[in-house]
Amino acid sequence: MQSLDNIYLKMVSGLEPANLSQLHPPAPASAEGEREISREVAHELNNVLTIIRGYTERLLMKNSENASLAPDLKLICESARRAELIIRHAARGTRQANARQDQK
């Protein structure tokens, strides 16, 4: 598990936290403002998940001979993939709800 801690520290040191103050919705109370925030949040989350998956897949390739790391790395990769799907489904649901709202 020590080596996974080192992997995590290397990954985190290369990330810059999303600066939420840079989000500029047209109007906080408007539907368009809410859509813009949703798009920005989904984008930022997907950026982080892409980095996690990329590093994990790279580590899996580099450490193919180290069987003790493989299950943990595969779990990380699969978890990131599942989180990406959740974001995609949530974004799709938000778009559909907004489309229904716009039709009213």
Residue range 25-53, pLDDT digits in tens: 445 567 777 777 788 888 889 889 999 99
In a domain? residue 20: no
Percent of the chain past pLDDT 70, that is, above it, reads: 62
Q: With respect to residue 64, please indicate whether it lies within any of the assigned structural domains.
A: yes
Question: How many structural domains are present in the chain?
Answer: 1
Q: What is the mean pLDDT of the chain?
A: 76
Do the domain assignments include residue 70?
yes
Place of tokens 């001979």: 65
* Contact (Cβ atoms closer than 8 angstroms) between residue 57 and residue 77: yes
Q: Which two tokens stand for residue 9?
A: 């520290």
Domain of 51 in residue numbering reads as 29-103
Quote the pLDDT of residue 36: 78
In a domain, 68, yes or no: yes
Q: Would you say residue 49 lies in a domain?
A: yes
Residue 39 lies in a domain: yes
Classify residue 10: in a domain, yes or no: no
Q: Is the dihedral of CA 21, 23, 25, 26 positive or negative?
A: positive
Q: Which has the higher per-residue pLDDT, 4 or 80?
A: 80
